[in-house]
Chains A and B, each alone.
Chain A
Amino acid sequence: MRGPPWRRRAGWTVHYGLLALYVGFALFPLYWLFKVSVTPNDLLYSEGVRLWPSHMTLDHYASVIRHTDFPLYFENSTIVSTATAAFATAFAALAGYAFSRFAFRGKTGLVGLMLLTQMFPLVMIIAPIFRLLAPLGLTNSLTGLVLVYTAFNVPFATFLMQSFFDAIPRELEEAAMIDGATRLGALLRIILPLTLPGVAATLGFVFTAAWSELLFALMLNSSPEASTFPVGLLSFVSKFSVDFGQMMAAGVLALIPVCAFFFLIQRYLVQGLTAGAVKG
């Protein structure tokens, strides 16, 4: 932004004004979620639309934690999402590295196949997957869910990781190999530290996808012991009423792990780690 000071200031104002508008728009539903979660049930319908209830309560949170299966769902979701993120990212990193660095027979075919897996509506393949998993005892089990989530997330995660590997100059690992490292050594000690932003992004992506997945979780696991949190949310919807207060409280609680996860990885998400590797 160039020009006289007043113009720069005006530009700045418009720029950030628009950004603020967008952020407000995007975050408003979250605000509403929080607002409803602290609104007492008797005020929920009686007060009309207000930005903040006339008095707030944490009763919904208390009852979600004490009187429902939510802590269990929570635990299940955490286990499933963490495991899925770890497995999918590990596979995707190895596959992405291979796609990025090696020329091998059937590479194009393999890429095509991976793309193909992304093209079906999931609803179509739920029945076959159920049929496959049931005899193996993998329905009503967290393992089954991890397996399915990993399988469905690996292709996209692979493309993601491949693009991160592509951005790292080949000469770096060549230099390491001439310096005396094996290819795997170069990958682990030179390339992987530089791909941490990519690994973090992939972990985050897969974790969030697994955390919020409903369809498979609902269809494959019917027992409460193996239910994840999105399935649990549905339990607040009964035939005759919806317990919005508790539902929203559970929703807010469900945000916490995701936020915590991104808080943990955000410093790796910062780009520019490879600056200075090559000329400049």
Chain B
Amino acid sequence: MSAIDIVGVHKQFGATQVLRGIDLAIPSGEFVVLVGPSGCGKSTLLRVIAGLEDVSAGDITIAGRRVNDLAPKDRDLAMVFQSYALYPHMTVRDNMSYSLKLRRTAPEAIASAVKRAAAKLGLAGLLERKPRALSGGQRQRVAMGRAIVRAPKAFLFDEPLSNLDARLREQMRYEIRKLHRDLGATSIYVTHDQIEAMTMADRIVAMNEGVVQQVGTPDALYDDPANTFVAGFIGSPAMNFLVGTATSRDGGTDITVGRERLVRLRLMPPTSDGQVTVGLRPERTMLSRSGAGARATIDLIEPTGLGSVVHLDLDGQLLKLFTTDRARLEPAEAVVIDVRPDDVLLFDPATGARLRPLS
């Protein structure tokens, strides 16, 4: 049985459709990340699960119980907000024990639960402080502590790290993962940051315009995206999309970009006019000085320390590639693009849907 089941959920605010038929089953103990650009509906979905918004249609089931008409307080969830939403007039201890007090937990049990949670989060010395006397990172921890102090059916995270600086964010990412490993609680985590999604998720739910685009492990979304949205959203630097032509003959399909023949693939389904969108990951596109591949000219080189992002002109189209090879590349140099057939993804230009080999 899934911990959380979402079936055909729609949500509209006035005339605006925010969620258009979401179906999602989250197994118990899984760490699911909802990712997508702002306005894609991921936060709304989380708030709908929490009960802070009503659904317009569809059902939400938590631990086998339909919760559509249940108030947030009766859903037994814990939520960490982007703004932390700490109660400013209460001490850290009171912030963390508030939910237990509302459940009429015995004072000794509250004290020990707060103590345990505080120890886990390194807040032991701060329990008597008010939120305003804490740093951003500490406030974030208190918000986490408020969630883990009881054992809810699931944790909901609404972009909890976006107000932290980069270093702290990386550290908290790791700590939240570790907490999840220790507690094993079902978690739904919302972020617009694909790196956060990739590093933290057991499974990623990629959303755009109120629709789930793809659900899968981080590797599956990276290697095998369902459409141009997922392909372009996951991965940094972002995937290249080139306008290409597919010509099928002799049981294979030749991909041409401009006048340059790029690669020969296994037989692909035909598109209406033979045009295809060619997706190339910058880090899976190689360069060679000679060979049979498509010819391109180096336009610009951006060093990043780890490697370089090379901007290429491929018969009038921009192609970025990433290389850790510190070959002495020069702007205006002519090079040959070398890709493995498996690393070339094709998409239907009209729908953005992935085209897969026929056999």
Chain A residues in the interface with B (C-beta under 8 A): 169, 171-172, 174-182, 185, 190, 193-194, 273-280
Q: Which chain A residues border B329 with CB–CB below 8 Å?
A: none
CB–CB A177/B87 < 8 A: no
Task: Please encode chain B, from 92 to 111, with 1 for each CB lying within 8 Å of some chain A CB and 0 for all others.
Answer: 00000011001100000000
Segment of B73-81, B210-218, B246-254 in the binding face: B73-81
CB–CB B86/A276 < 8 A: yes
CB–CB A276/B79 < 8 A: no
Q: Which chain A residues border B239 with CB–CB below 8 Å?
A: none
Q: Which chain A residues border B72 with CB–CB below 8 Å?
A: 174, 177-178
CB–CB A174/B132 < 8 A: no
**Within the assembled complex, what's the spacing in Å between the Cα atoms of A177 and B70?**
12
**Within the assembled complex, what's the spacing in Å between the Cα atoms of A174 and B72?**
9
Q: A273-B89, A276-B86 are in contact. Are A177 and B81 (CB under 8 A)?
A: no
**Within the assembled complex, what's the spacing in Å between the Cα atoms of A277 and B85?**
6
For the complex formed, measure the closest distance between the CB of A232 and the CB atoms of chain B, giving whole angstroms.
Answer: 42
CB–CB A279/B99 < 8 A: no
B189 beta carbon closer than 8 Å to chain A: no
CB–CB A176/B84 < 8 A: no
B136 beta carbon closer than 8 Å to chain A: yes
Q: How many residues of B sit at the interface, in one of the four size bands?
A: 20 to 34
CB–CB B78/A194 < 8 A: no
| Residue in A closest to B78 when the chains form the complex, CB atoms | A178
CB–CB B52/A177 < 8 A: yes
Beyond contacts A177-B71, A178-B79, A179-B146: 11 other A-B pairs, Cβ-Cβ < 8 A, are A175-B87, A176-B87, A176-B98, A178-B78, A179-B99, A180-B73, A182-B71, A273-B89, A276-B131, A276-B132, A276-B133
B83 beta carbon closer than 8 Å to chain A: yes
Q: A172-B87, A182-B73 are in contact. Are A280 and B136 (CB under 8 A)?
A: yes
Q: Which chain A residues border B281 with CB–CB below 8 Å?
A: none
Chain B residues in the interface with A (C-beta under 8 A): 50-52, 71-73, 75, 77-79, 81-89, 98-99, 102-103, 130-134, 136, 139, 146, 163
CB–CB B85/A194 < 8 A: no
Q: Which of A169, A181, A185, A275 contacts B85 (CB 8 A)?
A: A169
CB–CB B88/A279 < 8 A: no
Q: Which A-B residue pairs are the 9 nearest by beta carbons? A: A276-B132, A171-B85, A179-B99, A278-B83, A180-B102, A276-B131, A175-B85, A277-B88, A279-B163
CB–CB A278/B84 < 8 A: yes
Q: Which chain B residues border A277 with CB–CB below 8 Å?
A: 83-88, 131
CB–CB A174/B86 < 8 A: no
Q: A171-B85, A175-B81, A194-B89 are in contact. Are A279 and B73 (CB under 8 A)?
A: no
Q: Which chain A residues border B146 with CB–CB below 8 Å?
A: 175, 179
| Residue in A closest to B14 when the chains form the complex, CB atoms | A103
| Residue in A closest to B52 when the chains form the complex, CB atoms | A174
**Within the assembled complex, what's the spacing in Å between the Cα atoms of A148 and B147?**
48
For the complex formed, measure the closest distance between the CB of B228 and the CB atoms of chain A, giving whole angstroms.
Answer: 34
23 contacts between A and B (CB under 8 A): A169-B83, A169-B85, A172-B87, A174-B50, A174-B81, A174-B85, A175-B87, A175-B146, A177-B71, A177-B73, A178-B51, A179-B98, A179-B99, A180-B102, A180-B103, A181-B102, A275-B88, A276-B88, A276-B134, A277-B83, A277-B131, A279-B82, A280-B139
